Amino acid sequence: MEAANPPQLTGVTPALFAQHNGSCYRTPIDLQVTPDAGLHFLVVGGCLAQPFPEIAKMINEAFKGDFVLLNNFDSFPEISPAQVAQYDFQIIHIPLRSILGSAYFQLPDDGSQHEEFLRQTQDYLKRYLANAVRLNTEHKLLSFVLGFLVPQQNPLGRFQPRYDLRNVMYFIERLNQLLAAEVAKLENAHFVDADQVSSSIGKKNCQDDMVWSFTHGTTLSDGDQDHDLNRIQPPAAMQQHYSARWLEFFEALLHEIFAMHRTVRQQDAVKLVAVDLDDTLWRGVAAEGTLGAIEGWPMGFMETLIILKKRGILLAIVSKNDEQFIRSKWNDIVQGQIAFSDFAVHQINFRSKAENLAAILQAVNLRPQNAVMIDDNPVERAAIQAGVPGVRVLGSQLYYLKRVLLWSAETQQPMSTPESRRKTEMVQAQLARESVRKQLSHEEFLQTLQLRVTLTVIRDNRDVLLGRALELFNKTNQFNTTGARYTLEQCHRRLAAGVPLYVLQAEDRFTQYGLIGAAWVQQNQIEHLVMSCRALGLGIEDSLLAYLADRLAGEAAGTLLGQLRPTEANLACRQLYRRNGFRPVESDSILWSRSLAEPLRFPAHVSFRVNDGSLAANKFSFPR
């Protein structure tokens, strides 16, 4: 649905206004590069969610949705594992009427029974949710659970207590709190704040609580008119009385879910945001003494960068300025809103910005496709796009920056891990490590590194390291031996089938790097191996191969196999197997093989420790 006509202002076209004010307002598409593929999803619930398949098809003809009506406590229909595997995700809507009924407004006015009624309703909600999420609990199907729409006003009156269970608004908010908490206990399930989507559209434009009962909890509809045409004075259709933007609401709610799905898949993920300084991070030109007020968008933009850093996105400065001057004046300019040390890396000089951005990406081992550059100058933006193909460039529309950077699916993560929260610190340590590397020979550098690696074998889907390993598989491009991505349910199926997941954690004298490697290893074959770019060149992957060769030595197979499927981005791992004595298997173009008759040398500079609860001895140290 198109948004209202834009004001007639220079630089804001109707198309641009519609893009940023329509159903994608909450889910900007400015950073999306890869088009959404043909999604196939299941909708489970009541009448609010019934239009989803049809509206999804209006958004994208390649989308397909199936609907299962689950009012009250109906038995969940039988769906085979093969059918479940066809779905990318499911959307679950719990009808408010099914758990709340009509008893709420029959409770005594003194509030004496409201707490107990809330407890009973919460119990009904838990039971309904347990029934509705069966495909998640049994098959780990990715699930998005819709919250309830909160009424627009306190029906008892504006002067009555707002946060009191006698106010149906607060009562439903308490149900939303419980629902969000119960969904958080599930694996591969996420709460969708449908009420916030309604608020963004405008509750008066899409909710029906000004006409229907509060427990109905859905959108404005013209369905009533058919029942009222025989009145003495038949009413006009509902949308003639109210501004009914129900279609925009449904589209926005689906866009919210599609954006969450992209985030779960880490599609087009942003890992670094680089910013210019003058008239980009702040108003005016610092060296010319023309600085403007920091209040307004500059403060909002600095706040945005701090939040991105907390999400694990690296910050960088690319600016044509005198570095010594900028450093000396930094605190005076930004007035404590952001620290220079919040930026993991910087290039402040008078060289080409494209050249400087390329140097930063090389230093932190990132591809241009994972970076965003923000600059106020259209000439510089064009030069950066030409000089660093693949990088996403923003800055032409100043007032969209905060919303695009914070609300886009590409800058968000489905979970927060210690590694992501410490990303800036780890990269700064990596750069310090690289500075030392340049002063020594490669062998001398490795010997002084004091590198310690711990390998943990995951065999249980409840392992706390599984989430970070999944994130690593889905975000790693350069050292990714097959390019494959996984959903949580796929990981669970592999573990249930007895395929162990090996994860590697590392630290050296500079810092703790956290979980930096993961590999699926089945019997004597490495099916898939990924390594974080910050750990490349340290021999950690060679240590893993040496450990596996040592463990398999003497077994009947006598060989160690590894899969390597070339992708556009995985040049960094192409030589892994060849340099460790593997040979390509003639009958399989992606398989490499190494005889274990000759031991595989363990890197002498690596202290290697193994935790595997399935073994008689729980700890090993290598080399022996």
Q: Is residue 387 part of a domain?
A: yes
Query: Both tokens of residue 410?
Result: 């590409």
Q: What is the pLDDT of residue 535?
A: 84
Chain mean pLDDT for the chain: 90
Residue 245, C-beta contacts closer than 8 angstroms, at least 6 positions apart? 1, 201, 202, 205, 206
CA 84 – CA 469 distance, rounded (Å): 24
Residues 397-422, mean pLDDT to the nearest whole number: 89
Three-state secondary structure call for residue 504: strand
Residues 5-16, mean pLDDT to the nearest whole number: 72
Q: What is the pLDDT of residue 618?
A: 36
CA 116 – CA 132 distance, rounded (Å): 24
Q: Are strands 189-192 and 345-349 parallel, antiparallel or unpaired?
A: unpaired
Q: Is residue 47 part of a domain?
A: yes
Same domain, 375 and 289: yes
Residues 160-184, mean pLDDT to the nearest whole number: 96
**Segment among 73-87, 251-265, 347-361, 393-407 with least mean pLDDT:** 73-87
Residues 73-83, mean pLDDT to the nearest whole number: 83
Higher pLDDT, 432 or 265: 265
CA 21 – CA 523 distance, rounded (Å): 54
Q: For the chain, what percent of residues have pLDDT higher than 70? A: 95
CB 497 within 8 A of CB 584: no
The CATH number linked to 67 is 3.40.50.1110
CA 571 – CA 477 distance, rounded (Å): 9
Tally of structural domains, the chain: 3
Q: For the chain, what percent of residues have pLDDT higher than 90? A: 62
> Taking 50 as the threshold, does the pLDDT of residue 616 lie above it?
no
Same domain, 50 and 123: yes
> Taking 50 as the threshold, does the pLDDT of residue 617 lie above it?
no
Amino acid at 559: T
Same domain, 283 and 261: no
Q: In this structure, how many other beta carbons lie within 10 angstroms of the beta carbon of residue 157?
A: 8
Q: What is the pLDDT of residue 624?
A: 44
Question: What pLDDT, in 10s, does the model give residues 123-142?
Answer: 999 999 999 999 999 998 99
Amino acid at 347: Q
CA 128 – CA 116 distance, rounded (Å): 19
Q: Is residue 6 part of a domain?
A: no
> Taking 70 as the threshold, does the pLDDT of residue 487 lie above it?
yes
Q: Is residue 363 part of a domain?
A: yes
Same domain, 559 and 506: yes
Query: Which domain covers residue 495, as residue numbers?
Result: 451-622
CA 232 – CA 327 distance, rounded (Å): 78
pLDDT-derived band at 620 (thresholds 50, 70, 90) equals very low
Q: What is the pLDDT of residue 73?
A: 65
Residues 163-188, mean pLDDT to the nearest whole number: 95
Same domain, 257 and 156: yes
Q: Is residue 190 part of a domain?
A: yes
Question: What pLDDT, in 10s, does the model give residues 469-484?
Answer: 998 998 888 899 999 9
Q: Is residue 305 part of a domain?
A: yes
pLDDT-derived band at 4 (thresholds 50, 70, 90) equals low
Give 608-613 contacts, CB < 8 A, sequence gap 24+.
Answer: 608/453, 608/454, 608/455, 608/543, 608/547, 609/452, 609/453, 609/454, 609/455, 610/454, 610/455, 610/456, 610/457, 610/547, 611/454, 611/455, 611/456, 611/457, 612/455, 612/456, 612/457, 613/457, 613/459
CA 505 – CA 463 distance, rounded (Å): 15
Q: Is residue 1 part of a domain?
A: no
CB 548 within 8 A of CB 521: yes
CA 576 – CA 526 distance, rounded (Å): 12
Q: Is residue 180 part of a domain?
A: yes
Q: Which of 275, 120, 187, 249 is nearest to 493 (CA)?
A: 187
Same domain, 64 and 187: yes
* Exposure letters 340-354 (e unless 16+ CB within 10 A, then b): eeebbbbbbeeeebb
Question: What pLDDT, in 10s, does the model give residues 40-54?
Answer: 999 999 888 899 999
Region of 289 on the Ramachandran plot (φ > 0 left; ψ -120 to 50 alpha; else beta): left
Three-state secondary structure call for residue 582: coil
Same domain, 155 and 282: no
Residues 338-351, mean pLDDT to the nearest whole number: 95
Q: For residue 588, give the DSSP letter.
A: -
The CATH number linked to 337 is 3.40.50.1000
Same domain, 31 and 113: yes
Residue 182, C-beta contacts closer than 8 angstroms, at least 6 positions apart? 125, 126, 129
Hunting for tokens 């930004």 — which residue is that?
334
The residues that bridge with 477 in the sheet, in sequence order, are none
CA 455 – CA 547 distance, rounded (Å): 10
CB 151 within 8 A of CB 183: no
> By 3-state DSSP, what share of the chain in percent is helix, strand and coil, each rounded to 5?
40, 15, 40
Same domain, 183 and 89: yes
The residues that bridge with 394 in the sheet, in sequence order, are 374
Higher pLDDT, 268 or 70: 268
Judge if the upstream peptide bond of residue 95 is cis by omega within 30 degrees of 0.
no
Q: What is the pLDDT of residue 225?
A: 83
Same domain, 375 and 483: no
Q: Which of 541, 547, 605 is nearest to 570 (CA)?
A: 541
Same domain, 67 and 109: yes
pTM assigned to the model: 0.80
Q: In this structure, how many other beta carbons lie within 10 angstroms of the beta carbon of residue 122?
A: 17
| Domain edge (last residue) among 381, 412, 443 | 412
Same domain, 301 and 256: no
Three-state secondary structure call for residue 162: coil
> Taking 90 as the threshold, does the pLDDT of residue 172 lie above it?
yes
Reported as type and span, the H/E element at residue 318 is strand 314-320
CA 473 – CA 482 distance, rounded (Å): 10
> Taking 50 as the threshold, does the pLDDT of residue 619 lie above it?
no
pLDDT-derived band at 9 (thresholds 50, 70, 90) equals low
> Taking 80 as the threshold, does the pLDDT of residue 5 lie above it?
no
